[in-house]
A and B are shown apart, each in its own frame.
Chain A
Amino acid sequence: MTEIVKCALLLALFSVPCTRGTRYSPPDKPKLTSCRSPEKETFTCWWQPGHDGGLPTTYALYYLKDNSDTIYECPDYHTAGENSCFFNKNDTSVWVNYNITVVATNALGSNFSDPEDVDVAYIVQPHTPENVTVNVMEDKGWPFLRVSWESPHKADIRSGWITLIYELRVKLEGEEEWEEHHAGQQKMFNIFSIRSGSTYLVQVRCKPDHGFWSEWSSTTYVKVPEYFFRERSLWILVMIFSSFTLIILLWIVHMNSHSLKHCLLPPVPGPKIKGFDQQIFKNGRSDEILSALMVPNFPPTKSSNYEDLLVEYLEVYVSEEQELILEESKDSCLKSDSSTCDSDSGRGSCDSHTLLTDKCGEAKRERRASGEDSGMTIESQKGWEEEALSYTQEDVATPDVSSRRVKTWPSVFSTVPQYTTSPLDQKTSLELSKQHCLSDTLFPPGSSTKEVLGPNYWEFDLSNKQSHLPQPQTHGSQQLQAHSDVNISYTGNKQVPALLQLPGFKSTEYVEVQKVNQEDMVILQPVESDNCGRDEECPHVLQGEDYSKVKGVGSDNLLLLQSGVKARMGDEMEANGVSESCYTSSSFATTQKHIDSMHSATIPGQEEPIRATTGYVDTTTMFTLPMY
């Protein structure tokens, strides 16, 4: 009894820790994972055990063969490893349906797996191919890989029992993607288009005609050596040919080196001075150089070439504004003028005058505002003189005595402000500031042209221009200064009042200077113009003695012109012409005086006495004077 009790106690003691907190159960259902046959002669089945339920579990595999009811058990549980069953050749029947079941058994029970049907013929998965060798071969100088292998030794290809097809893959060392090739049943394969000097990896696998692919064989490395183009004969030919060609080319180039040089690098023409010998410079003697630099006929001092050098017209500017403008922006003006003039710059048709006034006018405005009368006039006169001189110098020669004519553009300068702003802007403040230093009779009616508000031109005929020109310089340009007794003021397009419509004067711009008499008077003669026909107020051209006499040079270096025509202007003009001087003045007094004087002239038909006052157009201050 006591022994039994002891045994029971021992059992309880032993069993207690085992059973404490754990539950035993029959094992879970195992699962037959796969069955594979490497050569269609044997095959192996593996299963996966389930939970063993806490108890030691044993597994058994039973199978049924093709419609028979005999249950067989796995003959070999160990050869293939754990949880496997190996069927050897004797137990393997091909084209027989095996119905396999795995049983898990433990102390508490057993569990059957689901039966699986297996036909050996369709579960063949061979081993990997063996002896994979890769050789680098050469095909006409180009390398290629020859891969050869052998079938797995267990697969019986020779008897025809199994037919294997192969597949291989290649890749460059370091790359990711393989390049696969199907080799069929052959045991050799050529891979072309490989790179020299690189290492390749090759793998092979096989498959029976109805079965599974084997694993890839172990990687075989192959290093392709550097291959140079081996066609030596071709290289030699190419080298010889190219060298021949090169030699011939060099020879040709050498033969034509001179002409090539001339073609590629044309000689730069050197500077040449007519009549100048460059050799003198090279000799390096200074006196010779200087003498060579001296142009023999420069400057022209003789009148032998006067005919060639003379220009027809000498531009004489009468307006003080012009002088001011000239003086201020002499350089720029002159330069611009000279630049814009054509080659025959002495002619009056040169449009540079207008441009000159344009450019000069802006600078002159400021001066005008300052309101210096005489000084400005003097300055302007001087500037004008200089300009005239420059003009004359441009002409390069003294004008001829007889037929040369000098144009004066007095009004041009007076219209500078308008030009600067816009030629069409007739309402500028400088409308009235147009001054015309004209002789009494020489004031042509203001033309209605937009550009020139009746620019009045005199054409001076200077007998000896050169001699006279310096004189104005010295004498303050007295002779050349045209002083107009008639003060004309223009307002844009408005017609010049009848006062200004001097008979014999066209609305055009030109007044011919016939000659300069001995008294240093410029005799002006109006020039026929086309504009006259259009203009109603175009005065009748005074035939014959239409000229303005230069009375003299005023105190402020103004050229006082005296109109010879007294048809209209009469003595008043003359009187005015004497007393008045052409200058641009913004001073009220002077303008007033001029206006008054002008007004006293009582030009018939004058409706806007303001405008037809002095010979110069004043600033807006004058214009706004409604005192009349």
Chain B
Amino acid sequence: MPGNITSVPAVWLWSVCLLFCIRLTSVGAAPICTNAQAGCHVLSLANLFDRVIQHSARMHGISNDLHNEFEQFFLPSKNQIGRISRNCHTSSILTPNGKENAQRMAREELTEVILKLLVAWRDPLWHFHQSMSHHHDFNNFSSSKALEISDMVHELRKGVEKVAEKMQNLGMIGNFVNNLASPETFLTSDSAEWRLMRNYDLLYCFRRDSNKVQNYLKILKCRIVPEHGC
């Protein structure tokens, strides 16, 4: 008899839990609604842009810190010829070097450039982090930063892709080169150049490219949604 009494509330408890679990799983994360579906939480493009821009700004900040750290410990001799002939592996990607050039570029191209840059840096940063962790010369702070920026590049790329998708959905941009399939297509044959670069040069190049990304995103935002903070 006591078993029956205790079993009833237990069954009741389990059923309630199951219901909750099902409900939780069904909810999931709020998806970015397309076509402005009813009852869907729509993130505006401006908000998306703001998030992405903030993300890129943070990424650039970390890369700047890492670069300065490296500059202190590994100050390259100015007499080295190699310094002058520093060549980033992303130099093959044509990026606008001025305001007019950037403004003259189409939105799609600009978005594509951003994505290219972000894609190009995924592997090098991963390897950079690996080399940092193996070399115990650096403190943990630098190692963690290296890991962080590699993650951030990845996240930023996803964010920009979402922005592009939204823009595309909103009809702001035309057909977009579908780069979601294979990021490696952006990498040219000399993609292995980055393996030859020293860590310091790698950071130098990445600092520059993260600055480009941030700036391009701002330009894009002020061109597409100028009413918010431009």
Which A residues form the contact surface with B (CB < 8 A)?
40-41, 64, 67, 89, 92-97, 99, 114-115, 117, 119, 121, 156-161, 163, 185, 209-210
Say yes or no: B219 contacts A210, CB within 8 Å: no
Given contacts A94-B97, A158-B230, A160-B221, contact A67 B84 (CB under 8 A): yes
Which of B33-41, B98-106, B139-147, B186-194 participates in binding chain A?
A: B98-106
B229 nearest CB neighbor, chain A only: A185
Listed from nearest, the 10 A-B pairs whose CB atoms lie closest are A160-B222, A160-B218, A93-B97, A161-B99, A160-B219, A94-B97, A95-B208, A159-B222, A160-B230, A67-B85
A185 nearest CB neighbor, chain B only: B229
> SS class of chain A's interface: helix, strand, loop or mixed?
loop
Give 20 A-B contacts (CB < 8 Å), ordered by A residue: A41-B98, A41-B99, A64-B84, A67-B85, A89-B98, A92-B98, A94-B97, A94-B98, A94-B99, A95-B208, A97-B86, A121-B208, A157-B230, A158-B222, A158-B230, A159-B103, A160-B223, A161-B215, A161-B219, A210-B60
A90 nearest CB neighbor, chain B only: B98
Q: In the bound complex, how far is the Cα of B97 from the Cα of A228, in angstroms?
A: 58
Given contacts A159-B219, A210-B64, contact A89 B95 (CB under 8 A): no
Say yes or no: A119 contacts B208, CB within 8 Å: yes
Say yes or no: B222 contacts A114, CB within 8 Å: no
Q: In the bound complex, how far is the Cα of B98 from the Cα of A95, in angstroms?
A: 9
A39 nearest CB neighbor, chain B only: B99
Say yes or no: A40 contacts B211, CB within 8 Å: no
Q: Mark B35-66, 1 if CB is under 8 A from A, else 0.
A: 00000000000000000000001001000100
**A99-B84, A159-B99, A209-B57 known; 11 other A-B pairs, CB under 8 Å?**
A64-B84, A92-B98, A94-B98, A115-B78, A121-B211, A121-B215, A158-B226, A160-B218, A161-B99, A161-B218, A163-B218
| A304 smallest CB distance to B (angstroms) | 113
Say yes or no: A159 contacts B223, CB within 8 Å: yes
Q: In the bound complex, how far is the Cα of B69 from the Cα of A101, in angstroms?
A: 27
| A184 smallest CB distance to B (angstroms) | 10
| B197 smallest CB distance to A (angstroms) | 13
Assess whether B212 is interfacial by the CB under 8 Å rule.
yes
Q: In the bound complex, how far is the Cα of B193 from the Cα of A67, in angstroms?
A: 16
Assess whether B87 is interfacial by the CB under 8 Å rule.
yes
Contact of B87 among A67, A92, A96, A210 (CB under 8 A): A67
Q: In the bound complex, how far is the Cα of B98 from the Cα of A41, in angstroms?
A: 7
Q: Which residues of B contact A95 (CB under 8 A)?
A: 95, 97, 208, 211-212
Total A-B Cβ pairs within 8 A: 62
> Total interface residues on B, using CB and 8 Å?
30
Say yes or no: B229 contacts A89, CB within 8 Å: no
B211 nearest CB neighbor, chain A only: A121
Candidate in B85, B212, B222 with the most chain A CB atoms within 10 angstroms: B222
| A64 smallest CB distance to B (angstroms) | 7
| A607 smallest CB distance to B (angstroms) | 115
Interfacial residues of chain B within 204-221, with CB under 8 A of chain A in the complex: 208, 211-212, 215, 218-221
Say yes or no: B78 contacts A40, CB within 8 Å: no
Say yes or no: B100 contacts A210, CB within 8 Å: no
Contact of A67 among B86, B218, B221 (CB under 8 A): B86
| A41 smallest CB distance to B (angstroms) | 6
Say yes or no: A156 contacts B230, CB within 8 Å: no
Q: In the bound complex, how far is the Cα of B37 from the Cα of A351, in angstroms?
A: 121
| A117 smallest CB distance to B (angstroms) | 8
Interfacial residues of chain B within 171-213, with CB under 8 A of chain A in the complex: 208, 211-212
Q: In the bound complex, how far is the Cα of B69 from the Cα of A107, in angstroms?
A: 45
Say yes or no: A210 contacts B230, CB within 8 Å: no
Q: Which residues of A contact B83 (CB under 8 A)?
A: 117
Q: In the bound complex, how far is the Cα of B211 from the Cα of A210, in angstroms?
A: 9
Say yes or no: A156 contacts B208, CB within 8 Å: no
Candidate in A67, A96, A99 with the most chain B CB atoms within 10 angstroms: A67
Q: Which residues of B contact A156 (CB under 8 A)?
A: 99
Q: Which residues of A contact B64 (CB under 8 A)?
A: 210
| A502 smallest CB distance to B (angstroms) | 118
Q: In the bound complex, how far is the Cα of B87 from the Cα of A175, in angstroms?
A: 54
Q: Which residues of B contact A158 (CB under 8 A)?
A: 222, 226, 230
Q: Which residues of B contact A97 (CB under 8 A)?
A: 86
Contact of B100 among A89, A119, A157 (CB under 8 A): A89
Q: Which residues of A contact B100 (CB under 8 A)?
A: 89
Q: Which residues of B contact A67 (CB under 8 A)?
A: 84-87, 91
Q: Which residues of B contact A209 (CB under 8 A)?
A: 57
Q: Mark B142-154, 1 if CB is under 8 A from A, else 0.
A: 0000000000000
Q: Which residues of B contact A119 (CB under 8 A)?
A: 208
Q: In the bound complex, how far is the Cα of B218 from the Cα of A159, in angstroms?
A: 8
| B87 smallest CB distance to A (angstroms) | 6
Q: In the bound complex, how far is the Cα of B103 from the Cα of A41, in angstroms?
A: 13
Q: Which residues of A contact B222 (CB under 8 A)?
A: 158-160
| A154 smallest CB distance to B (angstroms) | 12
Q: Which residues of A contact B230 (CB under 8 A)?
A: 157-160
Q: In the bound complex, how far is the Cα of B53 from the Cα of A209, in angstroms?
A: 12
| A44 smallest CB distance to B (angstroms) | 17
Q: Which residues of A contact B218 (CB under 8 A)?
A: 160-161, 163
| B10 smallest CB distance to A (angstroms) | 56
| B149 smallest CB distance to A (angstroms) | 16
A122 nearest CB neighbor, chain B only: B211
| B91 smallest CB distance to A (angstroms) | 8
| A521 smallest CB distance to B (angstroms) | 127
Q: In the bound complex, how far is the Cα of B212 from the Cα of A93, in angstroms?
A: 13
B98 nearest CB neighbor, chain A only: A94
Q: Which residues of A contact B211 (CB under 8 A)?
A: 95, 121, 210
Given contacts A114-B78, A115-B78, A160-B218, contact A96 B97 (CB under 8 A): yes
Q: Mark B91-116, 1 if CB is under 8 A from A, else 0.
A: 10001011110110000000000000
Q: In the bound complex, how far is the Cα of B103 from the Cα of A89, in angstroms?
A: 14
| A99 smallest CB distance to B (angstroms) | 6
Q: In the bound complex, how far is the Cα of B214 from the Cα of A353, in angstroms?
A: 118
Contact of A161 among B57, B60, B97, B102 (CB under 8 A): B102
Q: In the bound complex, how far is the Cα of B192 from the Cα of A133, in angstroms?
A: 56
Q: In the bound complex, how far is the Cα of B79 from the Cα of A99, in angstroms?
A: 12
| B48 smallest CB distance to A (angstroms) | 15
B87 nearest CB neighbor, chain A only: A67
Q: In the bound complex, how far is the Cα of B204 from the Cα of A117, in angstroms?
A: 13
Q: Which residues of A contact B97 (CB under 8 A)?
A: 93-96
Q: Which residues of A contact B57 (CB under 8 A)?
A: 209
Q: Which residues of B contact A160 (CB under 8 A)?
A: 215, 218-223, 230
Q: Which residues of B contact A185 (CB under 8 A)?
A: 229
Q: Which residues of B contact A115 (CB under 8 A)?
A: 78
B226 nearest CB neighbor, chain A only: A158
Q: In the bound complex, how far is the Cα of B87 from the Cα of A67, in angstroms?
A: 7
Q: In the bound complex, how far is the Cα of B78 from the Cα of A209, in angstroms?
A: 28
Q: In the bound complex, how far is the Cα of B101 from the Cα of A96, in angstroms?
A: 14
Q: In the bound complex, how far is the Cα of B91 from the Cα of A92, in angstroms?
A: 18
B57 nearest CB neighbor, chain A only: A209
Q: Which residues of B contact A114 (CB under 8 A)?
A: 78
Q: In the bound complex, how far is the Cα of B60 from the Cα of A95, in angstroms?
A: 14
A96 nearest CB neighbor, chain B only: B97
Q: In the bound complex, how far is the Cα of B208 from the Cα of A64, in angstroms?
A: 18
Q: In the bound complex, how far is the Cα of B218 from the Cα of A156, in angstroms?
A: 12
